Structure 1
Amino acid sequence: MHVPDGFINAPVSAVTGVVAAGAIAVSLRGARRELDERTAPLAGLVAAFIFAVQMLNFPVAAGTSGHLLGGALAAILVGPYTGVLCVSVVLLMQGILFADGGLTALGVNITDMAIVTTVVSYALFRGLVKVLPRTRRSITVASFVAALLSVPAAAVAFTLIYAVGGTTDIAITKVATAMIGVHVLIGIGEAVITALTVGAVVAVRPDLVYGARGLQQRLKLRVNGELVDTPAAPAAPPAPVAARSSHRTVWITGLVTSLVLAGFVSFYASASPDGLEKVAKDKGIDAKTEKHATEDSSPLAGYGVKDVSDARVSGGLAGVIGVGVTVVAGTGVFWAIRRRRTTDSSPTSVPEGV
């Protein structure tokens, strides 16, 4: 659903840029409360994983494909504020290095793909978790539903943005019907990927999943006909070495998976246009599409390495480079946020005599 330059006029693109900048500023502050020494590197990995899976377009209808948006996955794994930043990092890398999503449309893409999907999915997820039994299966089920509905929500958001700032004169009802219809189907793929990923991490390290925090309920005893909480059990002695080893295993597994998906599996992705591209072509939204600013200058434009003639090797190298750059950029951002939180929370020294 990457919006290219030319779909949305300059004033509306500027407004969405301000909205995106404001949301990122709020998310930077909110992420300080979500990130700790365990989840900061995980957040960088989530960004890289989203980048890798977005390369895997899957068929959803005749001549149409879809790909992960990632807002629900990021929000559930590392928190909604950090989730907005994860998807924003991915969109920034794609826009600058791979000429995917217009640079003047970056605000539109962040608003639609990062903010809307994250906010909608996490609100739905939290609502479902409150009413479902507090089990690991409920986390997976809630992840599926939240991810499923986040994609058509993004389609609705794009339709509204287009209604205000579209550069072509197309009936908004036609755009809405086409966008929502195809993105409901894409949402199914999003839901499957999100549920499988969240379920896998919850099964191994539920403590690393932001949305699964507080999953376990206290046992209750019946005393004089009333249920009361059992006394809290003594805390188990910490096992820092084992915890670090387990966390490292999860991180390495996730990174290797991302590299394999982007470097090898992506070659077998559907070549059909994604939902937005298909609707734009069918309805004429793309009549004023502009050439991407880095299309000729970036050696990775189009998800291939310039001057590498073999398509499989070119695409695989581009995917591996993209995962590497995203994980480094994302981890750097999230470690900086974590360090800022540590600095802000540390006691300030008071001079003697004061």
Structure 2
Amino acid sequence: MSGLSAQVVVRARDVDVALDVGTDECVALIGPNGAGKSTVVDVLAGLVRPDRGTVVLDGRTLSDDRRTVPTHRRRIGLVAQRPDLFPHRSVLANVAFGPRAVGASGREARGHARDALAAVGALALADRAPGTLSGGQAQRIAVARALATDPVLLLLDEPTSALDVAARQEVRTALATAATGRPTLLVSHDPVEVMGLAHRVVVVEAGRVVDEGTPDEVLGRPRSAFAARFSGLVTVPGRATTGGMVTADGGELASPAHAVPPGRSALAAYHPTAALLTRDDDGAGRRLDAVEPRDGLVRVRAGDLVVDVTLTRFAALGLAVGDTCRIRVPADEVVVYEPDGGRIVG
């Protein structure tokens, strides 16, 4: 088959993951630390030999139960967290190193390097020394270096995690260019990066795939505890009604038309910044159970519901743990859907 088809089994790390990546598709592999993401990348790159399974890339078997193709013969480009450029070589020489190592002449290698630098908008940096580059520039050079060998598969392993916010967007633009026209596997903890680059998302927990689908399906309707945390959404269990859902603790969440039959187990998802928090002085509301600082906001938990508000807003309400409050979520901010097996995984 074209693209990538892999079954990765590494018993010592308790990893058993199957995934496919289409010819012109970017698949994001997400999961908590220790879930097995790096193991998958290492096996695909030829850095770890699996105990069982196969890796087939563009119809060519790179690994099976009998043999494994060495890393340098796999035609795989890797962009990791750190660029790790050769400090004593120019930018152009760094990018030309890959083509030269696989047999290109010096002239051909420099030509490939210039093309790759131009593709990521970094040709003007060709004569610079790596030590003079910003973090974002250095990572774009790392992307160009991966492109210069015309890889059949591109592996992106946390490619922007070491960068500041300002540099991330320029590198993401370079990554989008690099991923076009080839199968790409992206490992990331950045929801913006996943939504911007990936066509599909595969969620791995404890060495197993627990969910997969489009970014909208996996992050907009999370079926695993990790995907809910990753997307920043709150998921609330309950039973569907015609106009939304009754929560497990007896509350109600209104929602536009949804496909879950009334009475069925359901999950409601919403972003906690969309919820509205008010005082409840008549005692008929919810008990405020916990108050936590969170990313410059205050997270309030009351029963099954969660709301994030600014510190100023929270202070103005004069609420404390044990008080009663009301949390209202606008109907157009709530998605109601059926969970796997009637419950969220994780």
| TM, length-normalised to structure 1 | 0.23
Higher helix share: 1
| Higher CA-based Rg | 2
What is the TM-score with the length of structure 2 in the denominator? 0.24
* Larger relative strand fraction: 2
